[in-house]
Amino acid sequence: MTSTLTVEPLTAVDRCDRCGAQAYVRVTMPAGSELLFCAHHGREYAPKLRELDAEIMDESERLDDAQPTPAGSSGRPD
């Protein structure tokens, strides 16, 4: 029997292990430990983490979805 692990998406409760901001990057180290980073620290540490063969799940594209619409704007191009 094959088992599949599912990873839950990060939520606003998940915090960056470096600075405490909202986490958008989940890193699973080869030994199985997990680190959470904000988008900034995720980008900063990604090169070294890749060298260590860590699995990186980057959800920072959600930041683009969360941009507020300026007041008085419909959010649609004219």
Q: Write the CA distances from 30 to 35, 53, 65, 75, integer angstroms.
A: 12, 7, 31, 43
Indicate whether 34 belongs to any domain. yes
Decide if 20 contacts 37 (C-beta within 8 A): no
Specify the number of domains making up the chain.
1
Indicate whether 33 belongs to any domain. yes
Indicate whether 17 belongs to any domain. no
Instruction: Specify the pLDDT at position 47.
Output: 98
Indicate whether 5 belongs to any domain. no
- The residue that leads in pLDDT, 74 or 39, is 39
pTM of the model: 0.76
Indicate whether 44 belongs to any domain. yes
Decide if 25 contacts 58 (C-beta within 8 A): yes
- Collapsing DSSP to helix, strand or coil, 39 comes out as helix
Indicate whether 37 belongs to any domain. yes
Indicate whether 38 belongs to any domain. yes
Assigned token pair, 29: 């180290």
72 φ/ψ sector (left φ>0, alpha ψ -120 to 50, else beta): left
**14-25, pLDDT tens digit by residue?**
999 999 999 999
Instruction: Specify the pLDDT at position 6.
Output: 75
Indicate whether 7 belongs to any domain. no
Residue 46 lies in domain? 25-62
